Amino acid sequence: MAQVRVHCEQCRRPVSVEVQDEEFENNPTGILRILLVHGDPFHAIVVYVDRQLRVRGIEYPDSFKIDASVETTLVSSDSVSSSLSEELGESCFQAVYAYDEVKDRERTSFILDKAVLKAVCESGTICISQIKRQVAGVERALGERINLQQIEEICEKYVREGLIRRA
């Protein structure tokens, strides 16, 4: 499986499209047409990808219809605990871009800033306390305590710069 990133002109955000090698096996043209529904409000794009995972084109349908039934899914208490801190008022953040796409741009930032950005980019939606746990090694390396306010200030800086968003 590979991921291809495209830029959606409707929501002005990068979007990842997953492509399986097997999808090309029964495709005589060698170009996949992938419908991707995303965003808030939901909208769709059609992405054309060739065997070398190059994007050959993107279309924006005028409309689309989803016909789905409602399913109930049980989740483990571990999954719930990570979002519980958000319910209690703790800030959570989510990356807009992959870490590799922004690390060169952030060469001059401090080690803690980079560690926080990497934690957010590699974790999906993540809360401040989870970020603090992931950067605990930086705390030891710097020899000083890192408090939640420092981490939140760094995240807010990256929100202003458009690299992450408030979840």
Q: For 67-108, write each residue's pLDDT tens digit.
A: 666 565 665 555 555 555 555 566 777 777 776 766 655 554
Instruction: Give me the pLDDT at residue 103, please.
Output: 61
* 3-state helix vs strand vs coil in the chain, percent to 5: 35, 25, 40
- What is the arithmetic mean of pLDDT over 11-18? 84
Per DSSP (E only), the strands in the chain are 2-8, 13-19, 31-38, 43-50, 55-59, 92-95, 125-127, 164-166
Q: What's the chain's average pLDDT? A: 77
Write down the pTM of the prediction. Answer: 0.41
Exposed/middle/buried for residue 163 (C-beta within 10 Å: 0-12, 13-18, 19+): buried
User: CA angle, corner 14, sides to 101 and 63, nearest 5?
Assistant: 170
pLDDT tens figures, 61-73: 887 776 666 565 6
Instruction: Give me the pLDDT at residue 108, please.
Output: 45
